[in-house]
Chain A
Amino acid sequence: MALGFEASLGDSVVTTKLDAIVNWGRQYSLWPMVFGTACCAIEFMSAAASQHDISRWGAEVVRFSPRQADLMLVCGTVSYKQAPILKRIYEQMPEPKWVVAMGACASSGGIYDNYCTVQGIDTIIPVDVYISGCPPRPEAVLDALMKIQDQIKGESVLKDRHKDFKGILD
């Protein structure tokens, strides 16, 4: 995700300062794309509603178009039937992008250890933060958001992320 001409500047003062300012911007304007499939999506609704208010972290601009979003929240069980769609949507999101697996199902298949359920979405797309719980409480979603923000802080505009990932559908 090197931004362009600055890549040629290498690891200099210019780019480290640039990192700081770009990351600051990215951290507080994450636009989530909610890939809500099941029960966990209901808890995401609560995280977005007034009581927990996700906008305190600057992430309230929920986009349903992957092309306008940079944070994918997978809320719910992903079945094998769903898997190609998940992958397609992930690919439609422009870089840089981050992925949160919300709940036991998205993280590992959860209680559904069976013929139709993908045993964790990290077999299909790369995941940055996992949230445990079935379903996780809304606070846990906010916690994951903060973890992503922390992670962004340490990133560099010079390095590409996850280009080597190979999932079961690749």
Chain B
Amino acid sequence: MNATALEKIQAAFPEAAVSIALDTAVVAVRPEKLIETLTRLKNERDFKFSLLLDVTAIDYLEYPAVQEARFAIVYTLRNWQKNLLVQVRTPVHDPDAGVPSVTALWDSANWGEREVYDQYGINFIGHPDLRRILNHWQFKGHPLRRDYNIRQGQICYETDSLEKEIKARLATKGVSQSMMEDINTEIMFLNLGPSHPVTHGAIRILTALDGETIVANVNEIGYLHRGFEKTAESLTYNQVIPLTDRLNYCSALMNNIAYVKAVESWLGVEITERTKFMRVVLSEFFRIQDHLVCIAANLVDMGGLTNYWYLYNEKEASYDLISRLTGARLTSSFTRIGGMYRDFYEGWEADMDHHIKNIEKGVSDSLKLIAKNRIVHDRTQGVCIMPKEKALSYGYTGPCLRASGVPFDLRKDAPYYNYESFDFEVPVGTTGDLYDRLMIRFEEIFQSIRIIRQAMKAIPEGPIFVDNHAVALPPKSQVYGKIEGLANHFKLIFEGVKTPPGEWYDSFEAANGELGFHFVSDGSGKPYKVKVRPPCFYIMGGFHEMVEGAMIADTVINLGSINIIGGELDR
């Protein structure tokens, strides 16, 4: 955030307290000013914060520093053209009374606020559909409140019928109950999921059909809610890393990197050059893996099994390198705060070279099968369109947003780890249809290969850990040889890396889009709160907009094209 932008915000909101945390301007407002502030930030020419990235709440019940109210709500906004980030926060004195909803400003607020309601029990006045989203409907209480016992599981005996919701959605399309009872109109309800081959995991897509055309659609998620955020609160910062593997498990290492990057930024730790290059190489390699699985599965949904073998075999082969490097095939846990778990092994360059060559070949072969294939074109072009404005409003980021024609990529717009010095292009779509989403992923694979090749040439020798033993473990010679070293090691393992008290948001361009982490630290070695901003969650939030009006078969491939990964969606 540059100084002039900060001044502008302060000048525009003189009564608000504006501060800065990393790259984010934090605007603290009174609850009654909340809507006005957010409206102006969205609409005024100087600001134009068109993306509502995330909504979250904080429960200060056990926080050491005294706060005005037990709860606070935080909205994270982004202006993608100018690379500005702002967080608007307000205290919530009475969670049952709550705060006004911002669903009229951004569509992404719909699911964002539902999650806050579910996890913290804060009401949103005027929300069109305020009900639980991650936990099941028979759940009592709000798990992310500090006084909710983490082990207190609650059994769900029955799935929600969603009848009310789908009827409400139908009504917005002009189909009412009386009309449905009319003998000439037959609306049929069809569930795809929660356990269905198209869902690639567990999501429930409830559709109301007229023939084969979808008139209305309501989706239910949360089947893979595993309590990431609550669990992380009782672990040290380094212990959270294995949990991050399991967010987007198709590109586990990227999550590891995104997470430690967020912690390091707050600590002010500047990692070594070699580590930066390692992280770039590995992120791009995992971006490729993620896209390979996504495209392969998507083409299977479309009926092209051959593509699956071309693409998946290359992914399978890449596991050789990954397991040689990290010791695991899928769940890598390869980063540490301040560095990497291990350096590259000897001869990795040859392996990497070999794999990316094969990937290039596999992807090119697969492209040959579909690039001029009439069936693929007919099934994807002009189908399930997500227009640009809607995509922004639903909080889309990553390949799905770029497919809709918004050239926003954090690697270009807010570069980290020397991304500005790499020569690569960001593919952008034109219409936001299925075809664009598919082809962008293909192109991104080639671009990532370009980046890897450049990074492999430029990677310097040197240490992979920072020389700062408040953060990184001391070398073993000191641990075994000196009492200070031993005490240092002991403290870091048991108490964790201590972060200064405060709150911050940091983001990373993951394979699916902007993966952000919002932390609250109380100064100890364990995070007081971690909120993940998962790209999938908001993409799924706009799913109905794409499929209403389309056919059932289109829904199937559309779900594949947006790459929904349960671990990240439901956390």
Give every chain A residue within 8 A of B222 (Cβ-Cβ). Answer: 79, 81
Contact of A113 among B151, B155, B242, B245 (CB under 8 A): B151
A-B contact pairs, 16 of them (CB 8 A): A42-B250, A42-B330, A81-B222, A81-B225, A83-B155, A114-B153, A115-B148, A115-B150, A115-B154, A115-B227, A116-B153, A116-B226, A119-B153, A135-B329, A135-B330, A137-B329
Residues of B within 8 A of A (CB): 134-136, 139, 143, 148-159, 194-197, 201-202, 222-227, 230-231, 242-243, 245-246, 249-250, 293, 309, 312-313, 316, 319, 329-331, 566-567
Decide if A64 touches B197 in the complex (CB within 8 Å). yes
Measured between alpha carbons, how far is A83 from B143 in the docked complex, in Å?
A: 19
Chain B residues with CB below 8 A from A42, complex form: 249-250, 293, 330
A131 to chain B, nearest CB (A): 14
Sorted nearest first, the 6 A-B pairs with minimum C-beta distance are: A39-B249, A114-B227, A81-B136, A64-B197, A112-B226, A80-B156
A49-B312, A111-B242 given; A79·B226 CB < 8 A: yes
Whether A39 touches B157, Cβ cut-off 8 Å, given contacts A51-B316, A113-B151, A114-B231, is no
The stretch of A9-17, A19-27, A30-38, A155-163 that contacts the partner chain: A30-38
Neighbouring A residues of B139 by C-beta, 8 Å: 80
Question: Is residue A3 contacting chain B, with contact meaning CB distance below 8 A?
Answer: no
| Residues of chain A within 8 A of B245, CB atoms compared | 39
Q: Is the CB of B231 within 8 A of A82?
A: no
- Closest-by-CB residue of B relative to A39 is B249
Question: A-side binding surface: helix, strand, loop or mixed?
Answer: loop
> Which of B197, B227, B246 has most A Cβ within 10 Å?
B246
A89, CB-defined interface residue at 8 Å: yes
A154 to B155, CA, bound (A): 36
A135 and B252 CA atoms in complex are apart in Å by 12
Question: Max chain A CB contacts within 10 Å: which of B226, B246, B330?
Answer: B226
Given A42-B330, A116-B226, A50 and B309 contact (CB-CB distance below 8 Å)? yes
Contacts of B227 on A, CB cut-off 8 Å?
112, 114-117
Complex Cα distance, B567 from A112, in Å, reads: 12
Q: Which residues of A contact B159 (CB under 8 A)?
A: 81, 84-85
A101 within 8 A of B: no
CB distance from A100 to the nearest CB of B (A): 16
On whether A39 and B567 interact (CB within 8 A), knowing A80-B153, A114-B150, the answer reads yes
18 further interface pairs, Cβ-Cβ under 8 Å (given A114-B151, A115-B143, A117-B153):
A35-B195, A37-B223, A38-B567, A39-B330, A41-B201, A51-B313, A79-B223, A79-B226, A84-B156, A89-B195, A114-B153, A115-B149, A115-B154, A115-B230, A116-B225, A116-B226, A117-B226, A135-B330
Please name all residues of chain B whose beta carbon is closer than 8 Å to the beta carbon of A46 when the two chains form the complex: 316, 319, 329
A77 at the interface (CB under 8 A from B): yes
